[in-house]
């Protein structure tokens, strides 16, 4: 087992050097595991990028140790603002759905970092930290590195984060799913009731600089991924998602666009997750077979 772990670490470092992951030296050490529920574990480690101890949750398939590493399919889900890595698994119904998905589900703790490297808070490198989390968990649970066996999703801030992270890592994920995500953001000029105050302490106050972070402007980098965009009819993000849908259409990128009933709320996230899981399972199973 120790030999296998050593080989695994070499593989992860190969990914680091090739750009698939970015991890500072020494960050693979010191990983601690805690069982939260049956087949739901929390992993904690000292983040070399954020310079503090961080935690992620992983949901494991039934009899996961008997699944060959090359056949392990992984879904990353990024939480919304004000939520955390346990928000989904603490919901009994959602936890059961994740447990029944047959997927390795990684739930990182993204704090209030918007999953980006802040231009004004130099210590807040949450994009680089997310790369670090994925490398840590991939190493600990023997997950394959091939993009066709990985998917990413998120809601609200996490919807913004998952789409932007996929754009920043083209080909890394076979499926990308956003739930009530802020997909034309940061920006001003949206209709009343269809906007969100830009956290300038995170993004800075330069509106020209904002364009670099807006997922709408890099949507073309999602080409090749299977895209699912979910909003709600009373959600403040609906116009942002309509803009993103129209951008995908203009780029001739195939996608699914779903509008649920409700607002920018956790019940909408709860209603959307079965759609995300079905989409992810369909895409990753197809990619694995191919």
Edge-first strand listing for the sheet containing 150-155: 32-37, 40-47, 52-59, 104-108, 74-78, 150-155, 175-179, 226-232, 255-260
36: helix, strand or coil: strand
Q: Are 107 and 88 in contact (CB under 8 A)?
A: yes
Q: Are 262 and 233 in contact (CB under 8 A)?
A: yes
Q: What DSSP character marks residue 246?
A: H
What is the rounded average pLDDT of the residues 285-290?
Answer: 62
Residue 276 pLDDT > 60: yes
pLDDT at 251: 98
- Percentage above 70 pLDDT, the chain: 89
Between 44 and 29, the more confident residue is 44
- Give 29's pLDDT tier (boundaries 50, 70, 90): low
Other residues' Cβ atoms within 10 Å of the Cβ of residue 206: 12
Give 255's contacts (C-beta < 8 A, 6+ positions apart). Answer: 227, 228, 229, 245, 248, 249
* Mean predicted lDDT score pLDDT of the chain: 91
pTM: 0.90
Cα separation, 100 vs 160, whole angstroms? 26
Residue 71 pLDDT > 50: yes
pLDDT digits (tens, 9 = 90+) for 74-104: 999 999 999 999 999 999 999 999 999 999 9
Q: What is the CATH number of domain 34-285?
A: 3.40.50.1820
pLDDT at 179: 99
Give me the residue spans of the domains in the chain: 34-285
Q: Strands 226-232 and 150-155: what pairing?
A: unpaired
Q: Are 145 and 114 in contact (CB under 8 A)?
A: no
Residue 5 pLDDT > 50: no
Residues constituting the chain:
290
pLDDT digits (tens, 9 = 90+) for 116-172: 999 999 999 999 999 999 999 999 999 998 779 999 999 999 999 999 999 999 999
226: helix, strand or coil: strand
- Positive or negative, the CA dihedral 99, 115, 163, 141 is negative
Of 19, 149, 180, give the one whose Cα is nearest residue 71: 149
DSSP letters, 125-189, are BHHHHHHHHHHHHHHHTT----GGGEEEEEETHHHHHHHHHHHHSTTS-SEEEEES---S-S-S-
Per-residue b/e over 111-124, b at no fewer than 16 CB within 10 Å? bebbbbbbeeeeeb
Between 46 and 25, the more confident residue is 46
């Amino acid at each position: 087992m120790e030999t296998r772990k050593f080989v695994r670490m070499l593989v992860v470092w190969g990914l680091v050097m090739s750009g698939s992951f970015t991890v500072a030296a020494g960050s693979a050490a010191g990983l601690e595991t805690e069982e939260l529920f049956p087949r739901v574990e929390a992993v904690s480690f000292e983040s070399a990028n954020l310079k503090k101890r961080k935690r992620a949750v992983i949901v494991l398939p039934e009899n996961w140790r008997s699944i060959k590493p090359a056949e392990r399919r992984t879904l990353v889900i990024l939480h919304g603002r004000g939520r955390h890595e346990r928000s989904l698994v603490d919901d009994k119904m959602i936890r059961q759905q994740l447990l029944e998905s047959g997927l390795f589900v990684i739930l990182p703790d993204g704090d209030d970092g918007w999953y980006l490297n802040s231009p004004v808070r130099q210590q807040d490198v949450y994009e680089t930290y997310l790369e670090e989390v994925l490398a840590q968990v991939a190493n600990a649970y023997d997950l394959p590195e091939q993009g066709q066996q990985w998917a990413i999703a998120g809601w609200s801030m996490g919807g913004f984060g998952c789409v932007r992270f996929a754009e920043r890592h083209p080909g890394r994920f076979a499926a990308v799913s956003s739930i009530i995500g802020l997909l034309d953001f940061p920006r001003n000029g949206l209709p009343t009731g269809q906007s969100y105050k830009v956290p300038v302490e995170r993004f800075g106050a330069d509106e020209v600089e904002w364009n670099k972070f807006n997922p709408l402007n890099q949507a073309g980098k999602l080409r090749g991924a299977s895209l699912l965009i979910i909003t709600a009819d009373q959600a403040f993000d609906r116009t942002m998602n309509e803009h993103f849908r129209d951008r995908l259409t203009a780029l001739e990128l195939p996608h699914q666009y779903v509008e649920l009933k409700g607002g920018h709320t956790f019940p909408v996230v709860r209603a959307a997750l079965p759609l995300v899981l079905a989409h992810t399972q369909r895409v990753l199973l197809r990619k694995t077979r191919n």
